[in-house]
Amino acid sequence: MADTVVAEEGTMAPTVDTTTAATTTTTTVAVEADMSRFNRACSVQICTKEGYSAFDCFKRHDASYTPPQKSASAAISSHYGVDSNWYMDTGATDHITSELDKLTVCDKYHGGDQVHIANGSGMRISHVGHGILRSPITNLQLKSILHVPSANKNLLSVNRFTCDNEVFLEFHPNYFVVKEQSTRKLILEGRCENGLYPMRSPNK
């Protein structure tokens, strides 16, 4: 419906069609909202931070910038023994496993990144995917797991685990607990074994 604008005497009053303008504005707002949600869910490929696009990243034209390397402090440590448990690692930037069947969803990795360990050597990444760690209370999400065939043990990145599940960890001399951030409700607990904190499945 057109709105009529009152003109001075002796001139023709122009009309303005506000229907098209309103539709365009609504569509623009919807697209911007979708892009905002998309940006919050994705990490920038350049600096790996979330919340904006690679085009807007201020590191994009910095030739001296080197993105952070993926690392694991104990991926080849023999102290972990031979088992299929997940071990919590405060030095790991990502979840790492040598067992492909721990990924419920996975894709072949075609990038050039490697996982760097304490001695400086790198390990090839074969697949990336997601998994689930079951607990008596809820299923805990393991996002962005790196399948590294040469890794000796399965490592849980403490930082990624707490962020993705909105939980926090308490490490004590003889045990550890996982609690929900908002309610402090106990979700999972386990024992310290030989100075390490294995995240065992409930049936073990």
The per-residue pLDDT for range 184-199, each reduced to its tens digit, is 999 999 999 989 999 8
pLDDT reported for residue 101: 93
For the chain, what is the total number of helices (H) and then of strands (E)?
A: 2, 15
Q: What is the pTM of this model?
A: 0.61
pLDDT score of 6 more than 90? no
pLDDT, tens only, 19-76: 444 444 444 444 344 444 434 444 444 455 555 455 556 555 565 555 555 545 544 5
**CA 69 to each of CA 15, 41, 53, 65: distance values in angstroms, whole numbers, following the listed order:** 61, 21, 20, 12
Distance CA 8, CA 97 (A): 78
Write down the pLDDT at residue 56: 58
Q: So which residues are the catalytic ones? A: 89
- Please state, in angstroms and rounded to a whole number, the distance separating the CA atoms of residues 97 and 148: 6
Q: What is the pLDDT of residue 186?
A: 95
pLDDT of residue 185: 95
Q: How much is the pLDDT for 33?
A: 46
- In angstroms and rounded to an integer, the radius of gyration of the C-alpha atoms of the chain is 26
Confidence (pLDDT) at 204: 47
168: β partners: 179
d(CA 143, CA 140): 10
Among candidates 73, 77, 63, which has minimal Cα distance to 116? 73
Instruction: Please name which of 153, 144, 142, 139 lies closest in space to residue 202, comparing C-alpha atoms.
Output: 139
The whole-number pLDDT of residue 47 equals: 55
Distance separating alpha carbons of residues 146 and 98, to the nearest angstrom: 8
Asked if pLDDT for residue 150 goes beyond 60, the answer is yes
pLDDT digits (tens, 9 = 90+) for 85-143: 999 999 899 999 999 999 999 999 999 999 988 788 899 999 999 999 988 889 999 99
